[in-house]
Structure 1
Amino acid sequence: MKKLIKYILSEFGGKVARKEEIEEVCERFKADVDKTINFMISYGYLVRILRGLYYVKTLEEFKLKKSIDTLRLISLGMDKLGIDWYFGLYTALRLNGVTHEYFPTIFVLSDAIYRPRPININGENVKFIKLKKSLFGFGVIEKNGIKFSDLEKTILDIIYISRYRSVPEERIISVVDEYRTKIKKRKIAEYLKFYPKSVREVAKNAGVV
């Protein structure tokens, strides 16, 4: 193993590194950063999270070919960026334990990142949705470093995003109805002040407030 690769693994192993941080190391070793990153990705030392943002495997993870949990990778990446974020929508329904249905896409809601189409992270489809700043700071659970919206915020986000995408109200209500008996109406009422009036109307018609 090259000294440069060993150094990067010892310095950043088990953490997320920006391209600029890897570049500083490459300059010391007089190596090209792009070639180094491409080499490390192709041989499985690095996992790309976003452009210029990489998870660096530990030596043990690399040697034993340990699988890295994608939710953990994304969490480390988002925390590295220092933005407001959480796992939401159908990913949050699963993390809240209210569904065992498999959804092929991981949903990440943040105040900073938007991608028009799902991107591949660690072999999984990940959809980034950007929300306005006022929809952060409430209704988020943190468990073992994983942030996700509680059931009530998840339902309101589903209504809000569905309304924004012009999904028919009947379809929105049919989704919400599946979880209606598990929802705490007090929390819904508390959170609704952060959402537009149109969300309140749908929530009311769905019988969750």
Structure 2
Amino acid sequence: MKKFTKYVLAEFGGKVITREEFEKACRRFGENTERAVNFMISYGYLVRILRGLYYVKTPEEFSMGKSVDTLKIISLGMNRLGVEWYFGLNTALRLNGVTHEFSPVIHVISDSIYRPKTIEINREDVKFIKLKKNLFGFGVVEKNSMKYSDLEKTLLDMVYLSRYRSTPEERIVATLIEYGKKARKKKLAEYLKRYPKSVERVVKNAGLV
């Protein structure tokens, strides 16, 4: 292992590093940044999260070939960026313990990051969805540096976003009925004040409020 690689793993292992920090380390060792990034990603030392943002494996994770939890990597990256964010939709349903069904896509909702297509992080498909700022600041559970919407907010986000996905209303109502049994009506009513009236109408049709 090159001195530069050893330094990066020792200094940043288990953390998220920015492009600027990586460039600074490259200058110290006389390395070409582009080549170093590509080398460390291809050999599994780095995991690209977003453009210019990488997770650095610990020496143990690399040498033992340990798999790193993708939700952990994304959480570290989003927290490092300092944006409003949380895991939502089907990912949040699983984290809330209301379903054990496997979802092939991890959903990350934020106030500033959007990607039209899924991207790959740590060999998993991830979808970044952007919401208006007024839909942040409530209904988010924080656990071990991870953030995810609680059940009530998850359901309301599903209704809200279904308008842009051309999802038939019957289908979204069926989803609300299936997962809304454990939802608290008082909390739903409080959260609904933040959403358009069209969301409230669908939730009422499902009998949740």
Q: TM-score, normalised by structure 1?
A: 0.98
Could you give the per-residue CA deviations for residues 113-168 of structure 1, whole angstroms, max 9, x where no partner exists? 11111111101110000001111110000112211000000000000000232322
Could you give the per-residue CA deviations for residues 35-83 of structure 1, whole angstroms, max 9, x where no partner exists? 0011111111101111111000111111111100000000000001100
Deviation, structure 1 residue 2:
1.1
Matches within 5 A, 1:188-207: 188-207=188-207
Aligned match of 1:125? 125
Aligned match of 2:37? 37
What one-letter code is carried by the residue in structure 2 that aligns with 1:71?
L
What one-letter code is carried by the residue in structure 2 that aligns with 1:57?
K
Aligned match of 2:160? 160
SS at match of 1:179: helix
Segments of 5+ residues of structure 2 without an aligned counterpart are none
Contact 2:151 2:183 in 1 (8 A): yes
Distance 2:120 2:19 in 1: 18
Instruction: State the aligned residue count.
Output: 209
Matches within 5 A, 1:16-95: 16-95=16-95
Segments of 5+ residues of structure 1 without an aligned counterpart are none
Aligned match of 2:114? 114
Q: How well do the aligned residues superpose, as a CA RMSD in angstroms?
A: 0.8
Distance 2:38 2:164 in 1: 39
Distance 1:26 1:197 in 2: 53
Distance 1:125 1:112 in 2: 19
Deviation, structure 1 residue 30:
1.4
Q: TM-score, normalised by structure 2?
A: 0.98
What one-letter code is carried by the residue in structure 1 that aligns with 2:201?
E
SS at match of 1:49: strand
Contact 1:180 1:207 in 2 (8 A): no
Aligned match of 1:134? 134
Could you give the per-residue CA deviations for residues 69-108 of structure 1, whole angstroms, max 9, x where no partner exists? 0000000000011000000000000000001111111000
Aligned match of 2:9? 9
Distance 2:57 2:101 in 1: 30
Aligned match of 2:184? 184
Contact 2:94 2:101 in 1 (8 A): yes
User: Structure 1 stretches (4+) deviating beyond 3 angstroms?
Assistant: none
Distance 2:115 2:5 in 1: 31
Contact 2:155 2:180 in 1 (8 A): no
Percent identity over the alignment is 67
